[in-house]
Amino acid sequence: MLKCAYERTFYEKDTMVSNIFGRERYRNQMRDEIAKEAGVEAEAVIIDVPTVPSVPYHHSVLMEPMEIPVFYKTRDGDKIPQRLSEISKIFDVLKGFINILRVYTDEKNREKVGVASTNILGGIPSSAKISY
């Protein structure tokens, strides 16, 4: 049974994070690097990222993967396309909250994969830590 060895929520926009979330090739490179550092087979490491939106838009190539296209009508009846994040800053903030990256492995490799993941992907930033 798979166990979570690493979890991190990303609240900021970052090129590395966008590549991990958006491109399988980069996820595979990260997986291979984590596996090598942990001393395990690449097949023992699984990187899990959200796959939203679940229904891709036909023109999503022209937009960010998580952007929602909307439009408004002019007085003449013309439709003008816009991005929802341009209309609502709330949406722009909320779409960042689904950037959760998890690394899974089996129980026997959990600790060393967790350490390797932290070394490669970084620990939790101090701004996100809660002290008790």
Dihedral angle over CA of 57, 68, 24, 48, nearest 10: -120
Burial readout 67-96 (b: 16 or more C-beta within 10 A, e: otherwise): bbebeeeeeeeeeeeeeebeeeeebeeebe
13 in Cβ contact with 95 (< 8 Å): no
pLDDT for position 80: 86
pLDDT for position 108: 95
The whole-model pTM stands at 0.60
pLDDT for position 19: 64
pLDDT for position 51: 55
pLDDT for position 4: 93
pLDDT for position 33: 96
pLDDT for position 54: 42
**Positions in the chain short of pLDDT 50:** 52-58, 60, 126-132
pLDDT for position 96: 52
